[in-house]
Amino acid sequence: MLHVIPYMHPRAGGPPVVVDRLCRRLASRGWRSRVVTTDAFSDDGDQAWLDPYQGGYSIEVFPGRGMGGYSYSRGLSDALDRLVTRSRLVHLHTVWSYSTWAAIRACRRQRIPYVVMPHGMLDPHSLSRKWLKKQIYGRLVEWPNLRRAAAMIYTHSAERALAESAVKGLPAGYVVPLGSDDPPDVARAVLAEGFLAARPGLRGKAIVLFLSRLHPKKGLDLLIPAFALLAANQPDAHLVVAGEGNAAYVRQLMWMAGRARLADRVTFTGALRGRAKWEALAACRVFALPSYQENFALVVIEAQRIGVPVVISRRVNIWEDLVEGGGGAACDLTPSGIADALQRWLADAAEAEAAGRRGELFVREHFNWNRAADVLCEVYEQVLSRVAGAEPGGTHGCTPLHTDVGNGKMARGAVGKVGVKG
């Protein structure tokens, strides 16, 4: 199995996490995975970000030129011509990237089927950003390539519905729910102490935590004024904004907090990863993500996994699941709507704790990486079966998977090397 993604650097957000977690679990189910990517988002000469990817699968990183996901890479293109022919199936992650285009070109040349996982990039809100460029490129390049895929893979039925409404003629779509990592195996109070020891001024505060990329689509322009609305009635409340983003945008957010006279009640921590992320989640009363568009939002699932209630907008595709699970509250995309939802958990610590327990149980059952890998295995096997039964050269005719648990096995074997190619 060849996975192609334009970036694996942690700064790129959720897609690298998804690829890593799935490849590790696919190895134990008989799939030997190789990841091909570029060095997008990394600093010159920095290779330390590759260290966590050791084990379970191989990863090859090629230098790219350009901004973000559309980094041109001749080395990657040459490697794809070599690697695609060794693969039974190619799994492409994200769209709007040179790596996706180059992989599809190699697959079509060598008649190897491919599946596409757009990671929310076909959502109408996402398509509205840089609309003209995406319409031109989509109609000329992206849409024809997607329509030739053996299948599409989505993380939620809402993502599938939105994508199919935005881009007509897509091949059959399969839904593979994602999962949460397990928090460190220590008491939540111990984790919380790690966060508070470095920030003693936050002891005794009811912390509202935002933890994600600092990006305009995340709704921080609404969260900060929402916090201002409830701050007067919640003197112990404190907003923590954890994440990194464009420097000018971060300065704008800080200015917004200062203008609302919240400078002493809003803390910007920068990026928190690994144990530091779990410490922040453990220390908060409620987690907030009022995004304008969110495909799946792994961090919301992680907040639930550690027992924290969440406030999310109805543009986060999993909002209905979490509300039904009892650990989430949905909010309107207005400052007053967000403030009202936050107030529910801030006003009653006991209810917030009970909601967190309900959410934790729900996520353990419904959103875990082993279940995701089982479903993905069945998707792969059904796609390969359909392709094998199609006319020579045909890759259409896939039908949606109707089961959530995979049980098929392939030939055993996995490799665990990390390499950077020049």
> Which CATH topology does 188-366 take?
Rossmann fold (3.40.50)
Per-residue model confidence (pLDDT) at position 107: 96
- pLDDT value at residue 412: 24
Instruction: Give pLDDT tens digits for 321-345.
Output: 999 999 999 999 999 999 999 999 9
Lowest-pLDDT range of 44-53, 180-189, 394-403: 394-403
pLDDT interval class at 413 (50, 70, 90):
very low
Number of other residues whose CB lies within 10 A of the CB of residue 308: 27
* pLDDT on residue 43: 84
| Statement: residue 349 has pLDDT above 70 | yes
Residues 241 and 62: their CA atoms lie apart, in Å, by 33
Q: Cα–Cα distances in Å, from 137 out to 100, 107, 111?
A: 13, 20, 24
* The pLDDT of residue 55: 79
233 or 68, which is more confident: 233
User: What mean pLDDT, rounded, does the chain reach?
Assistant: 89
Over residues 342-362, the mean pLDDT reads 94
Give the H or E element holding residue 311: strand 310-313
Res. 387 pLDDT band, cuts 50 70 90: confident
* Pairwise pLDDT comparison (257 vs 396), residue with the higher score: 257
- What ranges do the domains of the chain cover? 2-179+369-420, 188-366
**pLDDT tens digits, one per residue of 187-219:** 999 999 999 999 999 999 999 999 999 999 999
Q: What is the predicted pLDDT for the residue at 69?
A: 61
DSSP conformation letters of 336-349: HHHHHHHHHHHS-H
pLDDT for res 411: 27
Q: Which residues pair with 240 in a beta bridge?
A: 209, 267
Q: Which amino acid is at 224?
A: I
Judge whether residue 294 has pLDDT over 70: yes
pLDDT bin (cut points 50, 70, 90) of residue 397 is very low
Burial 169-193 (b: 16+ CB within 10 A, else e): ebbbbbbbbbbbeebbeeebeebbb
Whether residue 369 is predicted with pLDDT greater than 80 in this model: the reply is yes
Report the pLDDT value the prediction gives residue 41, as an integer from 0 to 100.
87
2-179+369-420: what fold?
A: Rossmann fold (3.40.50)
Of 72 and 167, the one with more pLDDT: 167
Domains 2-179+369-420 and 188-366 equal at CATH topology level: yes
